[in-house]
Amino acid sequence: MLKEFMYATDPKNEHLEDKNIQSSTTPQALDKQTQRPRLTGPAAPRHAGSSRTRILKASDTNEHEETKETVLSKTEETKPQMEKKCSCPPQGTLNEIITNGAILFMVWCVTWSFSGPEVLPGGSLFGLLIIFYGAVIGGKLLENIRIPSVPQLPPVLGMLLAGFTVRNVPFLSDHVCISSTMSSTLRNTALTIILVQAGLGLDPQALKHLKGVCLRLSMGPCLIEACSTAVVSHFLMNFPWQWGFLLGFVVSAVSPAVVVPSMLRLQEKGYGFEKGIPTLLIAASSLDDIVAISGFSTCLSIVFSSGGVLNNLLSAFRDVLVGVLVGIVLGMFTRYFPSRDQIRVQKIIRTAWNIFQPLLFGLVGAEVSVTSLKSNAIGICVVTLSLALLVRISFTFVLMSFAGFNFKEKIFIALSWMPKATVQAVLGPLALERARISAPHLEPYSKDVMTIAFLAILIAAPNGALIIGILGPKVLTRHDPNKMKVELAGLELH
């Protein structure tokens, strides 16, 4: 027994066992059936443990080889993708540009076969094409300009400046000529799309639970700015009262094209989520546009009618009443048709607006000529806009004082209610077109209205977007929307 114990603990014997293990792992010692080393003698148990160790090492080696193969295969897969970016024919954005260019050329050829000189330089279709693609390029350029710590500017500003450039660059203005009939038709179509889109943008639940503050926010600032613009333009620009109110409803509308995307970005990050501030402003922006367009239509019928003021007011009231009744009937129909599971209507309106938006802002920019502006017109127009906007901001702050918001939130809502773009682009040229057709002696007033609408977009749209993007994260309370879901029914807003 002692000899066996000494034999088991002798280091020399362990060295001998290691030699036996090494010799047993030679190819000549492999078992014929299992192809593993044949175990013999007292070293068999230790050899089994070494075998397991070697199997683990072999498995690690195999895993390492598989990892290398996976990395190599992924590298080989990425090589063709890298080659595709620089391959011929081109891929990606360059391919899309070439494809769209080819489609445009084919459409131009088909149109030329029907209309002839209208698609050549100097024709209306050619000018419309230049305005459209110039506005698209201007919007894309402004959309891709990213300045660190500065919010993104609205693309409609680039579209407006593109049309302004086409009109005032000598070489382009000589070859771009659009008939007034075509321009008027496109603007009326854009107005219809805006009204439909405003109706589709209304949230019934938000209107139901925030109806008090939403109605005050959508009607109060719009009406007070229209009245203040009428007063300021009457004494500062010598506008008649009817033209002053017409101008007031042109500039008093807030732009959903600026407000809605800015509020959605804040809502996604959780700013103002607890009190529903983004939802409130999104819902109220659509109602604000409806109020402004209704007031403008009433003033337009008064300005260009030959009857008395009382008859004009009665006819305007009749038009509004008929519009409400027709709207109720159509609303009851559209409540069931199309059904809620069909979103085709929204897609059609969205696609149509993507086409008419560049045309609208490009045409508005093309209506403003630098040579036709008076020397002091821009300064007076800017002062009129600034005073009316100051009254609007102050009145909005007062209206929100009894709605359950704190001081910083009221400041944010008041300043966020200033961007102007879409409605001004639609309503601004309408008075000018009506004056050219039926009352040429009123054209100077209509040109001033057009100029102020252009300046309102140029000033209020980028400044409003910057104020919302910079001031929102600083003054609004942030809550994680994924962890905290606040129901609108629980909001104590009156």
Longest Cα–Cα distance of the chain, Å, equals 134
Burial of 247 (0-12, 13-18, 19+ CB in 10 A): buried
Q: What is the pTM of this model?
A: 0.70
Domain that holds residue 354: 130-490
Same domain, 347 and 375: yes
Q: What pLDDT does 184 receive?
A: 79
Residues 6+ away with beta carbon under 8 Å from 108? 119, 129
Same domain, 223 and 317: yes
Same domain, 315 and 355: yes
Same domain, 279 and 417: yes
Domain count, the chain: 2
Q: What pLDDT does 28 receive?
A: 44
Rounded Cα distance, 428 and 357, in Å: 15
* Residue 343 is assigned to a structural domain of this protein: yes
* Residue 231 is assigned to a structural domain of this protein: yes
* Residue 299 is assigned to a structural domain of this protein: yes
Same domain, 370 and 469: yes
**Whether the Cβ atoms of residue 178 and residue 248 lie closer than 8 Å to each other:** no
Task: Point out the domain boundary residue: 68, 100, 120.
Answer: 120
Same domain, 94 and 164: no
Q: What pLDDT does 343 receive?
A: 67
Q: What is the token pair recorded at 322?
A: 């008929």
Same domain, 116 and 241: no
Task: Point out the domain boundary residue: 73, 101, 120.
Answer: 120
* Residue 295 is assigned to a structural domain of this protein: yes
Same domain, 109 and 154: no
Same domain, 230 and 320: yes
Same domain, 99 and 169: no
Residue type, 372: S
* Residue 37 is assigned to a structural domain of this protein: no
Residue 107 gets which letter from DSSP? Answer: H
* Residue 355 is assigned to a structural domain of this protein: yes
* Residue 61 is assigned to a structural domain of this protein: no
Annotate 153-208 with three-state secondary structure. Answer: CCHHHHHHHHHHHHHHCHHHHHHCCCCHHHHHHHHHHHHHHHHHHHHHCCCHHHHH
Same domain, 270 and 316: yes
Same domain, 255 and 348: yes
* Residue 373 is assigned to a structural domain of this protein: yes
Q: How many residues does the chain have?
A: 494
Q: Kindly list the averaged pLDDT for each block of 10 residues, start to end, along the chain of length 494.
A: 43 44 43 45 44 46 49 46 59 82 84 81 85 90 81 85 89 82 82 74 69 88 95 93 94 88 84 84 86 89 78 78 84 76 76 88 85 78 92 93 87 92 87 86 90 90 89 86 50 42
CATH code for position 283: 1.20.1530.20
Task: Point out the domain boundary residue: 102, 120, 138.
Answer: 120
